[in-house]
Structure 1
């Protein structure tokens, strides 16, 4: 029954998504940015797809099960992200409309009048997206093993998950992804409501709120920082720096640039930014379910915290509900994962290959985008097999990488003097501060509780500002001056 219900949900949604977008993926503009026609509702579900992912459900519940209070990161990061998005996303949208941009790297190349910077930022963007795809593959592998049985080897489950994701995204475009995002959001609300309403009875609690009391009784300090592990670096300073790093990097991800381009108007974007923080309230129930799994003494296979919620559901709930959760979780991975791979392919074909092959036709570019996604999915599979990191840790790694592009994006709209060379040197300095062994040791000794990505972003920003001041002021086209003013 579990497998049957999961298949009905997944196959039905995929069929509907492909039908919805079948005539809107014949060229790069329609395939990559949905023809720039997403109104308030379609844009809502497309954008909300970044709030409700497998990270939100499996990652945050698993973090609550394993660590406790550090899972509160979900509340702060989403609210901060949308406060920034209200200001930033309409500016990205205007730039896309004005200059006919399709990718984030197009923006860098156009704004800074440097095609080579588009190539550099495309490479950085693809690297961050491939890391992000790991989250979806780790989750898909867990769901495959839940529905097909633990006899399926973890590595094979990862490969099956990647094949399912590719089968969807190669045929679909952004409109299809938006359709599936809408379905999975609705199912996600249903699943969270049903599980939250019935979890207390499964663990011997008097009410959903009583789950928190039981968790505190069994594990004193679980609701305070640093959580269950007193030696963990997840202090309140970690929470603040990690949330700020996520908020600053969120809209800098290349796929969210393309989502911004897809909007029909700036009004659609602002309406979403105002109301979508309400989505973060669902994290209360997701964290509660993680605590419930802990109270129930749930033991996921291999102690994998990412599978805590799935194991709790499989242990305590009927097969039909397990199937509903599995099918919904499939969509939670497929919808955002498809957009991540789609964006990676767009960046590769348009901003890495096309600058060296300017005569490449739109049709050939689209074909190359689709083929390159298979390669990127393969790289993500290789990185994922044997992966034991939590989904939250993987996410923070992805945000640390993409944060290296944040100064170039924000300063593009705030300071006309910012130069392409300064952005390049800032990226280089930021990655040294983030990845070099001597830098890691230095920050660990002096700022042990700080999120390393935020430190690297600060170093990056200082270098960009310093180099821009040292270079002659560049003239800004009138169109860009108008965009900055707005």
Structure 2
């Protein structure tokens, strides 16, 4: 790896020190009793439209996103752009479903999606399945934030093996654990504002300055192989890359707001109206994501993959090093420090929200449901704080002691799993027709089917479905949730006939009231 870039490192550390102070100071922002779980874990549900925009944007558009999407464009080409339509499709879903979910959860003091499922369907085992799915899908996602942080730390010349190589990550996560424990969701909400300003500044600087340096967009695209600018045309009797692209976009859109950290950001809003406004405003991040995906093409045109000074970085981090290499090649060191700080802070914000979301789930839907059914408010909040620490350091141990590819595989599998909660959570907002035991069996079938497809595809998210001589490559999560839904619909009348049903503690009027 190259020598330490002291200018970039000093600016990176200065910005990191600032957001550390901000994380601790956030405990006094819109001050509430942090011994109450809804205050610590949802910010008191008092975030308006603007703060919610920063919070959800900081939650969804992570450090790994800003490294991995351009890296996918650098390595695989046009398929990387599936991330852009999927983040466009998802916002109408947010607009239609989640203001109502916010309203019902606010009325009943639900903290998690599993709380809603428990109340709506009256089945603790279905709620437990939803809770465990959420936690398992979240943990590797936290670990992957470390991948983005590792890459930019290594790009500044701080590298090594063993304790020396892992020490910067350990320090960063100790700081993250401390201000999350102290300030709860207020910390990532305040830091997200700084992170997003830096990310937008970096994205627009890259999209303007780098094409000028490379001679314009015409020269950039002339330097990119045709195989990377277009999806491969499908052959006969197959949807080919088109089917994989479309199903990845649709399936990812359906899954995104089922993740616990996404729902935590939504439930922290001050009103359903704030959620609706964010559905209209959040596509601004999709525009930025499209710009960042283009930066992957800039890296191809700049030839950073063939430069000897970057060989060690590519050897250690693979294509994930493409964007840091491009920034090191294109910008002065002081701006590199700002750009790398944006990515580093972009790791801490979602990691904090994810750990809080996982802690909320464990506290409300596992500990309270099965271990201590009557904790005091203080005991409940304190447990969540401790669990958030355990979750963070578990993710840190995962990435330190195991190759990062395992976190990547588990995160891909987590997307296949989390979408299996769609019938109970998203469709549960619209109807109580489904029987809870049918939903549970459908969930289990979807989990097994999706996992089997993932393994059969050699740990890839796309699976080729063969039907009557035609092949349909597609996102395994979408195929598995179809199995889930079909089985749920078929079994619901049967279980209803057998009288297997529970009471709904929510009221029908809550699903019709203005939000």
Q: Is the 2:73–2:293 Cα contact (8 Å) retained in structure 1?
A: yes
Question: Whole-Å Cα distance in 1 between the matches of residues 392 and 407 of structure 2?
Answer: 18
Question: Whole-Å Cα distance in 1 between the matches of residues 358 and 182 of structure 2?
Answer: 15
1:442-467 CA distances to partner (integer Å, 9 max, x unpaired)?
A: 95462562111111111111122222
Of 396, 399, 414, 1:381 maps to 396
Give the corresponding residue for 2:150. 141
Q: Is the 1:38–1:264 Cα contact (8 Å) retained in structure 2?
A: yes
Question: Whole-Å Cα distance in 2 between the matches of residues 392 and 212 of structure 1?
Answer: 30
1:404-435 CA distances to partner (integer Å, 9 max, x unpaired)?
A: 11111122123222122122111110111011
Pair 157,18 (structure 1): closer, same or farther in 2 beyond 3 Å? closer
Give the corresponding residue for 1:301. 314
Give the corresponding residue for 1:230. none
Return the offset for 1:259.
1.8
Of 474, 480, 486, 2:507 maps to 480
Return the offset for 1:30.
0.7
Of 475, 479, 482, 1:451 maps to 475
Pair 144,438 (structure 1): closer, same or farther in 2 beyond 3 Å? closer
Pair 157,111 (structure 1): closer, same or farther in 2 beyond 3 Å? same
Instruction: Give yes or no for the alignment of 1:359 onto 2:359.
Output: no
Written as runs of structure 1 = structure 2, the 5 A alignment for 1:85-124 is: 85-124=94-133
- SS of the aligned residue for 1:449 comes to strand
Return the offset for 1:10.
1.7
Give the corresponding residue for 2:43. 34
Question: Whole-Å Cα distance in 1 between the matches of residues 268 and 282 of structure 2?
Answer: 17
Give the corresponding residue for 2:174. 163
Q: Is the 1:59–1:392 Cα contact (8 Å) retained in structure 2?
A: no
Question: Whole-Å Cα distance in 2 between the matches of residues 63 and 313 of structure 1?
Answer: 17
Question: Whole-Å Cα distance in 1 between the matches of residues 151 and 359 of structure 2?
Answer: 26
Question: Whole-Å Cα distance in 2 between the matches of residues 194 and 392 of structure 1?
Answer: 29
Pair 430,477 (structure 1): closer, same or farther in 2 beyond 3 Å? closer
Question: Whole-Å Cα distance in 2 between the matches of residues 333 and 389 of structure 1?
Answer: 18
Q: Is the 2:231–2:241 Cα contact (8 Å) retained in structure 1?
A: yes
Give the corresponding residue for 2:268. 262
Written as runs of structure 1 = structure 2, the 5 A alignment for 1:177-216 is: 177-202=188-213, 205-207=214-216, 209-210=217-218, 212-216=220-224
Pair 392,381 (structure 1): closer, same or farther in 2 beyond 3 Å? closer
Question: Whole-Å Cα distance in 1 between the matches of residues 227 and 199 of structure 2?
Answer: 30
Pair 264,76 (structure 1): closer, same or farther in 2 beyond 3 Å? same
Return the offset for 1:372.
1.9
Question: Whole-Å Cα distance in 2 between the matches of residues 341 and 261 of structure 1?
Answer: 16
Return the offset for 1:39.
1.0
1:288-342 CA distances to partner (integer Å, 9 max, x unpaired)?
A: 2111112222234316122211122123322101110111111111111100001
- SS of the aligned residue for 2:474 comes to coil
Q: Is the 2:195–2:345 Cα contact (8 Å) retained in structure 1?
A: yes
Question: Whole-Å Cα distance in 2 between the matches of residues 143 and 439 of structure 1?
Answer: 32
Moved more, 356-365 or 243-252: 356-365
Q: Is the 1:158–1:384 Cα contact (8 Å) retained in structure 2?
A: no
- SS of the aligned residue for 2:227 comes to coil
Question: Whole-Å Cα distance in 2 between the matches of residues 34 and 320 of structure 1?
Answer: 35
Question: Whole-Å Cα distance in 2 between the matches of residues 168 and 226 of structure 1?
Answer: 47
1:37-86 CA distances to partner (integer Å, 9 max, x unpaired)?
A: 11111111112223432133111111111111011112111111101000
Return the offset for 1:26.
3.3
Question: Whole-Å Cα distance in 2 between the matches of residues 248 and 259 of structure 1?
Answer: 17
Q: Is the 2:48–2:270 Cα contact (8 Å) retained in structure 1?
A: yes
Pair 116,320 (structure 1): closer, same or farther in 2 beyond 3 Å? same
Give the corresponding residue for 1:335. 349
Give the corresponding residue for 2:418. 402
**Gaps in structure 1 of 5+ consecutive residues:** 228-232
Give the corresponding residue for 2:292. 286
Written as runs of structure 1 = structure 2, the 5 A alignment for 1:56-71 is: 56-71=65-80
Give the corresponding residue for 2:309. none
Pair 357,478 (structure 1): closer, same or farther in 2 beyond 3 Å? closer
In the superposition, the TM-score normalised over structure 1's length comes to 0.90
Moved more, 334-343 or 151-160: 151-160
Q: Is the 1:141–1:161 Cα contact (8 Å) retained in structure 2?
A: no
Moved more, 109-118 or 387-396: 387-396
Q: What is the aligned residue count?
A: 476
Pair 439,178 (structure 1): closer, same or farther in 2 beyond 3 Å? closer
Note the aligned Cα RMSD (angstroms): 2.6
Return the offset for 1:481.
1.4
**Gaps in structure 2 of 5+ consecutive residues:** 1-6, 234-238, 306-312
Question: Whole-Å Cα distance in 1 between the matches of residues 48 and 220 of structure 2?
Answer: 40
- SS of the aligned residue for 2:496 comes to coil
Q: Is the 1:83–1:273 Cα contact (8 Å) retained in structure 2?
A: yes
